[in-house]
Amino acid sequence: MEPSRTPKPRAHVALQARLAACLRGDVVSDPRTEPYYRRILGLDGGPWRETANYQAMLVASWAWRVYLLEATDLKALMSLFREYLHAMAQAEKLYALERKQGMFRGECLCPDPHAGMHLEAHVALLRLAVESGRSKLRDQTLDWLGRALRLYYAVSSPDGEPWLPGLRTRTRVPRNQAAAALLRELLDLPHRRPNGRIVTVEELATPGTSRDPDYYGALRWLASIRRDIASVHAELRERATSGPFPEKLLLPLRIVRFDGGLLASLRQPAQPPPNGWLDPVDWVLVRWRQPGKHEAQVGRDWQTPAPEIPGAAQTIGED
């Protein structure tokens, strides 16, 4: 009988596990030693590979690895300094790509679970910046998160749940529970499950990732920032409610709010790629009913035009 083999975890699970290990204080592997990770970050030449959420999570865990080693591996300072420069260069590249290609890049406004992975990566980098005192990284992460939360706030229901069209939508209606968890924490709103039930403090503290049923991983990452949390919380709240929007999106977003709901729609691309976009929902019309139980309609693949809703329109993410 052949010995049983433990299946390897899927890549997104392994990358989230790396981030979880970092926040426990564990030193993860050097991504330069693993061919698949080298491929993701283009370390052998060429562009970054795989999807944007993979790249963000890997960059964040590499930055954390260097930070943790600084406190434990004093005998290898020169080698560590070179790795530090390399890892920080990857973080610089990540934020440069987000500015150049648009927030979430090729996964424009993706809902959960992928949005949760993006949020986990950037919040992990924020915590690293706060704990290590790296002011430039702190500014970059606060800017990215602040703009993301400003967008989520603009399309949120009165109970703090964002409603967005976007790419990589695997469910009938896009769900943004990770963003809702962060937004509700900043706005001091009660946390809820998608069915409207209020979530207890004990449930929020339950270990997990952004792929668990209610996607509260992002909230746990924010709560895990141990130093300077009051000022970070206040600054993110201000940015979410009155700060700047993302400067660019791959597909600009149009929002019309009306009494009792909103319509959010993506601009149809003039020349879509040969294989089409990744699972697009191109518009969402939602009417507020009761917390956690709003009424939503969606359009997919630009097959059905968005409804005509009177009201002032706001466009986000145009060049």
Tell me the per-residue pLDDT of 39-50, one tens digit each, with 9 for 90 and over: 999 999 989 999
- Do 205 and 282 reside in the same domain of the chain? no
Is 222 or 115 the better-scoring residue by pLDDT?
115
Q: What is the pLDDT of residue 214?
A: 46
* Dihedral sign computed on CA atoms, order 150, 117, 23, 90: negative
Say if residues 127 and 121 touch (Cβ distance below 8 Å). no
Whether 226 has a pLDDT exceeding 60, the answer reads: no
The residue behind tokens 């409603």 is 163
For residue 16, CA distances in Å to 12, 61, 131, 141 come to: 6, 9, 20, 18
Q: What is the pLDDT of residue 74?
A: 58
Q: Is 4 a domain residue?
A: no
- Do 197 and 229 reside in the same domain of the chain? yes
- Do 233 and 267 reside in the same domain of the chain? no
Q: What is the pLDDT of residue 3?
A: 36
- Do 194 and 49 reside in the same domain of the chain? yes
Q: Give the residue-averaged pLDDT of 167-182.
A: 89
Q: In what order do the strands lie in the sheet with 293-300?
A: 293-300, 281-290, 261-266, 253-258, 313-316
Whether 189 has a pLDDT exceeding 70, the answer reads: yes
Compute, in degrees rounded to 10, the torsion defined by CA atoms 298, 290, 171, 121. Answer: 110
Tell whether omega for the bond before 158 is within 30 degrees of 0, i.e. cis: no
Task: Give the H/E segment covering residue 314.
Answer: strand 313-316
Cα three-residue angle 263-111-57, rounded to 5 degrees:
145
Q: pLDDT tens-digit profile of 62-73?
A: 999 998 887 665
The count of structural domains within the chain is: 2
Q: Is 161 a domain residue?
A: yes
Domain end, chosen from 214, 242, 270, is at 242
Question: Worst-scoring range by mean pLDDT, 53-67, 68-82, 116-130?
Answer: 68-82
* Tokens representing residue 183 in the block: 């937004």
Q: Is 6 a domain residue?
A: no
Class of residue 66 by CB neighbours under 10 A (exposed 0-12, middle 13-18, buried 19+): buried
Whether 275 has a pLDDT exceeding 80, the answer reads: no
- Report the alpha-carbon distance of residue 131 to residue 129 in Å, rounded: 6
- Report the alpha-carbon distance of residue 201 to residue 136 in Å, rounded: 33
- Do 76 and 145 reside in the same domain of the chain? yes
- Do 215 and 293 reside in the same domain of the chain? no
Domain end, chosen from 210, 242, 274, is at 242
Which range of residues forms the domain containing residue 119?
11-98+106-242
The CA R_g of the chain, rounded to the nearest whole Å, is: 20
Domain end, chosen from 221, 242, 263, is at 242
SS3 316: strand
- Do 302 and 200 reside in the same domain of the chain? no
Whether 7 has a pLDDT exceeding 50, the answer reads: no
Q: Tell me phi and psi for residue 312, to 5 degrees.
A: -70, 130
Q: Is 274 a domain residue?
A: yes
Residue-by-residue DSSP string for 257-292: EETTEEEEEEPPPSS--TT--SS-EEEEEEEEEETT
* Tokens representing residue 155 in the block: 């399309």
Whether 185 has a pLDDT exceeding 80, the answer reads: yes
Q: What is the pLDDT of residue 1?
A: 36
Q: What is the pLDDT of residue 137?
A: 94
- Do 71 and 204 reside in the same domain of the chain? yes
- Do 195 and 116 reside in the same domain of the chain? yes
Taking each helix axis as running N to C, give the angle between helix 52-70 and helix 77-101, from 0 to 180 degrees, rounded to the nearest 10. Answer: 150
Mean of all residue pLDDT scores within the chain: 85
Question: Worst-scoring range by mean pLDDT, 49-58, 200-209, 277-286?
Answer: 200-209
Q: Is 1 a domain residue?
A: no
Q: Is 35 a domain residue?
A: yes
- Do 50 and 150 reside in the same domain of the chain? yes
- Report the alpha-carbon distance of residue 177 to residue 183 in Å, rounded: 10
Say if residues 260 and 161 touch (Cβ distance below 8 Å). no
Q: What is the pLDDT of residue 44?
A: 93
- Do 171 and 290 reside in the same domain of the chain? no
Has this prediction a pTM greater than 0.75?
yes
Q: Give the residue-averaged pLDDT of 284-301.
A: 92
**Which residues 6+ apart lie within 8 Å of 37 measured at CB?**
31, 58
- Do 218 and 176 reside in the same domain of the chain? yes
Q: pLDDT tens-digit profile of 241-270?
A: 999 999 999 999 999 999 999 999 998 877
Q: Is 143 a domain residue?
A: yes
